[in-house]
Amino acid sequence: WKSEFIKKLGEDLKDCGFNVDFIYSSWDVGDIDAIFIEDIKVCVVDGTYNKIEERYPGAFERTLNFDEYYDIDYLRDNKEKIIYYTDRLFEEYDKYYKCMKEAKHIHDILESEYLIGMDFKKADSYTYEIINKLIKGKTDKKPEETHRFLGAMG
């Protein structure tokens, strides 16, 4: 539900004219881990899997802990289900990451074979030709590259 809250907040801020960057979750497809509002230098992060410690608590950062608003009695009454599904979730993630590791290994083997016969000059020439056809006359704006630390957390 935190992801939905952050997503809705970001959409509302966009509707108000703010420039909002949405940072998607690497865990759950379609979920939002964070939004960054450049105009006002604010970042809202779901800290469920991204643990964030304030360096100067209160001086620059402010943490709102939504965990304080849980219905503790309900959660305790349903703790067996919560434990079961949370454990299952992490078991599935473990399987996923093992499969991805194996897929990466297979990919690297295939790639090494393809690279033997690759004509990089020809590929680069063709790539630039396609890029020039796609963007010709579209913009004079220089593209920006944004580096975020959030992807390294978790």
pLDDT in tens, 2-51: 888 889 999 999 999 999 999 888 777 788 888 999 888 888 888 776 66
Q: Per-residue pLDDT tens for 117-138? A: 899 999 999 999 998 888 776 6
Q: Is residue 61 part of a domain?
A: yes
**Structural tokens at position 139:** 């913009």
Q: Are residues 58 and 78 in the same domain?
A: no
CB proximity list for 61: less than 8 A, separation 6 or greater: 54, 55
Q: Are 46 and 2 in contact (CB under 8 A)?
A: yes
Q: Is residue 92 part of a domain?
A: yes
**By residue range, what is the domain housing residue 85?**
71-136
**Is pLDDT above 60 for 90?**
yes
Q: What letter does residue 57 receive in the DSSP assignment?
A: B
Q: Per-residue pLDDT tens for 54-83? A: 777 777 777 777 778 889 999 999 999 999
Q: Are residues 2 and 63 in the same domain?
A: yes
Best CA proximity match to 150, nearest among 12, 11, 22, 3: 22
**Structural tokens at position 73:** 């009695």
Q: Are residues 98 and 132 in the same domain?
A: yes
Q: Are residues 64 and 85 in the same domain?
A: no
**Is pLDDT above 70 for 153?**
no
Q: Are 32 and 56 in contact (CB under 8 A)?
A: no
Q: Are 35 and 9 in contact (CB under 8 A)?
A: yes
Q: Is residue 109 part of a domain?
A: yes
Q: Are residues 3 and 44 in the same domain?
A: yes
Alpha carbons 67 and 64: distance in angstroms, whole number: 9
Domain stops at, among 20, 45, 69: 69
Domain stops at, among 32, 50, 69: 69
Band (149; pLDDT cuts 50, 70, 90)? low
Q: Are residues 45 and 79 in the same domain?
A: no
